Structures are given as C-alpha cells and as structure tokens.
Chain A
C-alpha cells in the first residue's frame, strides 16, 4: 500500500526552465512533508520541508506548494540548472509522539539539459 504517490517518474527540463514534481498522500495523520534530493552514490539530503499550517514555502530556487484539502503537495524548481540533475523524493511523516518514521514517494529522476 503506497501512502505517498509521486509523479512523474522522470522529468527532462532545459536549463533555465521550471521543474515541477507532484505528490499526493492518503493518510490525514501526516503533518510533515519534506523533499529530499539524492545524487548517485550518495544518501538523500533534505532540500526543503513544509508543515500543513502554511500553503507555500520558498527557499532560494525551490518552492513547496501545499494543498491540504486536496492532500497534495508539489516541488517547483525555478531556473533549473544542470547541477540540479538528481533524483527527488517527496516524503511524509505522521506525528506519533516524536517518532521519526518517513514514508517516501517512489522518486523522480530529474535531468536538466544544458
């Protein structure tokens, strides 16, 4: 049972373009939504995260948009660069007395062409 659905599986964008990755969740107990970036041979690294009390969070070229009623959230990468080429994972976590369990989407492989 996949609790976080991520799309698309792969994405090709030209340098300077906007990359958009979407995720949808089912469990209304989720209340923390991070995005991770993973380069080949490396572990995932936190990119940006949001909690449901805000609808948007921006950090540099990266923006999370959150729609609580639709149970959807998305990552926008503005002015995409070849160095952004990596696999991106959305995740969600329920608040269970501080438990750190993360449920991940299947990932999106982003390729930014120069």
Chain B
C-alpha cells in the first residue's frame, strides 16, 4: 500500500505570497492532519480534517487554512506568507475510530520564505 504523499517536496516563496500544499493519504484513510515542524517550536498541530470537515484546529492564525476533498485528499493554504512560516509541513493520515489510531506521516513539504 502506498504511503502518504505530499507535493511539492520543496518550495521557495517570498513574503506576502500565498502557497498551497497538497497531501494524498494512504488509501482508505479518511482522517488527515497537518503539522508544522520548525527547529525552535518542534512539531505543532495545525488542523485535522475528516469527511471533508475540519474536526480540530491548533493555535495558528487564520492565514493558515485547509480543506479536504471527497477522496480524502487534503490541501493546506498559507496566505500572506511571513518569514516565520519557513518550516517543514507534515501531513499525516489515519483510520479514525473510537480510539486514537496510528498516524502515518508523509515526507513533508519544506517551505522557505524569503
């Protein structure tokens, strides 16, 4: 079974621009979560989508948004980029159930904001 895929793998943008990152979950997985990883703050939860609905959200400004499509693929968007948005953005998918399920991470998209 193919793993979680993320595109693009690397991205360079300038301040003020916007960016869209894509995540394809493992086949059959319906929950997709997004995390931001930086050397200073570590791994921080951005949001989670299940059945095209945002089910949980972390403490990030409204410039960070996401969506999920009917095939469970997800995109996240960052508008008005700031230098501090430079990070590795990780997507994770899981089979949601009554208890927490294992989250499988993709390789990430490394975003550099200049």
On A, residues with C-beta under 8 Å from B are 32, 34, 36, 41-46, 49, 51, 89, 91, 93, 95-96, 98-107
Contacts and interface: CB of A to CB of B under 8 A. Distances in A.
B107 A43 contact: yes
Among the interface residues B33, B45, B48, B94, which one has the most CB atoms of the partner chain A within 10 A? B45
B108 A100 contact: no
B43 A32 contact: no
Contacts of A36: 105
B57 to A, nearest CB: 9
A89 B43 contact: yes
A104 B43 contact: yes
Contact of A102 (B4, B45, B96, B108): B45
Interface residues of B, number: 29
Contacts of A101: 33, 45, 48, 56, 58
B107 A44 contact: no
14 contacts: A34-B103, A41-B107, A42-B107, A43-B106, A44-B43, A46-B103, A89-B42, A98-B99, A99-B48, A101-B33, A101-B58, A102-B33, A105-B42, A107-B42
B97 interface: yes
B42 A34 contact: no
Nearest to A44: B105
Nearest to B105: A43
Nearest to B93: A100
